[in-house]
Every structure is written in structure tokens, then in C-alpha cells.
Amino acid sequence: MKKICAANWKLQKSPAETRKFLTDLKAQTLPSAAELMIFPPASSWETTSSLLNGSSIKWGAQNVWSQGSGAFTGENSAAILKEMGGQVALVGHSERRKIFGEGDAWMADKVAYVQSLGLAPLFCIGETLEEREANKTDEVNKRQLQAGLSKADKSKPVIVAYEPVWAIGTGKVAQPEQVQAAHAAIHRELEAMGFGKTPILYGGSVKADNAGALGKIPHVDGFLIGGASLEVASFLAIANA
């Protein structure tokens, strides 16, 4: 199976910057062993769609609502994403959970709705520093998986990303033993839930210099990358690693 290399740009890159990045990216020789995905801000969906539809690079939303249209001021529509050619949607990124107060209950509806459209949810889980220090990592991941996938269709694609909150944007990458233990536990839990084939990505300060080692850990099926995905060179260096 190809490893997934997903770029989460967060609230960065205007349409013009998106155009430049994607044009530069497409001009490079892309790694055959990795599947690339780009998550631009919604204001760059149109540009992304015009440059990536029909290419081997997938793209998607950083967040969507659990219905396609209606009185939901400020939200993004997965139905519109699909119409524009997007194939994936992040659900439950820790910044959505922490800054915007999204709770476990919403995740299940979002995952189910994204799947119902034939898109793949990329569902994010992970513990905070306090939870890790209290030895609650596995318990938190299990709770988030059970809540978020409670309405998911086992016969349709879903991707999970394990992102320890304390490693996101902090430069503190989790140690290989920590990643190995968490991914093994997540894989066991997914198997018990009937989602055993689900790819599990790691996210949190992934860079070109740690991607090679992290990518060799069992059940690390790719990466969700924030900061290091903003430059073509560093994003591709990770994908090549």
C-alpha cells in the first residue's frame, strides 16, 4: 500500500500562493511510493480544484459541516467539496476541537456524512500533554475512535491520523517508541471495531529529517504535515523519505 503524505496548510496560502505551490509541485518528479494529498484553506478550493482535478494528487477540506447546505453560517460544505472534485475531508483536527470547541459527538455525524457522499474522512485523534502525563494516551485515543467512528460505514474508506496535541506545531516530535506504542494500540482498537484495514497517519512536527525513521514504524501508513508542508521542497523531501 502507498504511504499517504498529506499537507495541512491550516489558515495559510492565498489563491495566488496556492497556484504557485501547486504549479511548482506538479513540475517536480513525484514519488511513486507515496500518495499526496493537499488540504488548502477553503478560499483556495477553486484554485486547487482547477490545478489538481484529473491529476494523481488528491485534495480536500480542513473541516466540513455534517450537512451539505442550510443555515450554517461560516461552515464548509462537503457536498460542494465533492462537486468541485475534492476527495477527502479532515474531521476532528485538534485545532477544531480545542480552539473551536468541537466535541466528540459532532465527529461521528461528520464522518458519516463525508462517507455518504463517497468522500474519505481523515479523522484526527490524539492526546494532550496532560493526558499523556497522566498515562491516558491509549484511553483517550480509544474514546475518540469509538465516538468518531460510531456511525461510520465499515465498507467505505476512512483514514485515521494520530496527532499527539503536544507535538503539533511545537517542534516536539514524539519519540519513535511513543509513536510505535500509540499506533499499535490504535491499530488493535480499529481491528476490534471492524476497521482493521484503516490507514493510520502520524502527525505532529513531521520534518524531512525525522520522516524516514517515523515512516518505518509498523502501522505508520503516512503523515499529516502542517508547517513542513508549506514549502514544496520540504513537503516532497518528506514524501521521498
Please give the residue ranges that form the binding site for ligand PGA (CB under 6 A): 8, 163, 168-169, 203-206, 224-228
Find, among 229, 233, 215, the residue nearest to 1 by Cα. Answer: 215
Residue whose C-alpha cell is 497517519: 201
- Within 27-184, strands assigned E span 34-39, 58-61, 88-91, 120-125, 159-162
Q: How far is the CB of 96 from ligand PGA (least distance, A)?
A: 10
Q: How far is the CB of 159 from ligand PGA (least distance, A)?
A: 13
The three cell numbers of residue 46 are 477553486
Q: Which is nearer to ligand PGA, 40 or 204 (CB)?
A: 204
Q: Which is nearer to ligand PGA, 17 or 79 (CB)?
A: 17
Q: How far is the CB of 79 from ligand PGA (least distance, A)?
A: 24
Q: What number of other Cβ atoms are within 10 A of residue 187's Cβ?
A: 19
Nearest-10 crossing angle of helices 176-193, 137-148: 40
Tell me the residue number closest to ligand PGA, measured at CB. Answer: 226
Is-catalytic flag, 130?
no
Q: How far is the CB of 167 from ligand PGA (least distance, A)?
A: 6
Q: How far is the CB of 64 from ligand PGA (least distance, A)?
A: 16
**114: helix, strand or coil:** helix
Q: Which is nearer to ligand PGA, 71 or 182 (CB)?
A: 182
- Within the chain, strands assigned E span 3-8, 34-39, 58-61, 88-91, 120-125, 159-162, 200-203, 222-225
Catalytic residue (one of 163, 183, 187, 219)? 163
**C-beta separation of 60 from 86 below 8 A:** yes
Catalytic residue (one of 35, 93, 183, 187)? 93
C-alpha–C-alpha distance, residues 40 and 119, integer Å: 16
Paired strand residues for 5: 36, 223
Q: Which is nearer to ligand PGA, 37 or 185 (CB)?
A: 37
Q: Which is nearer to ligand PGA, 77 or 229 (CB)?
A: 229
**127: helix, strand or coil:** coil
Is-catalytic flag, 93?
yes
Paired strand residues for 90: 122
Residues with a catalytic annotation lie at 93, 163
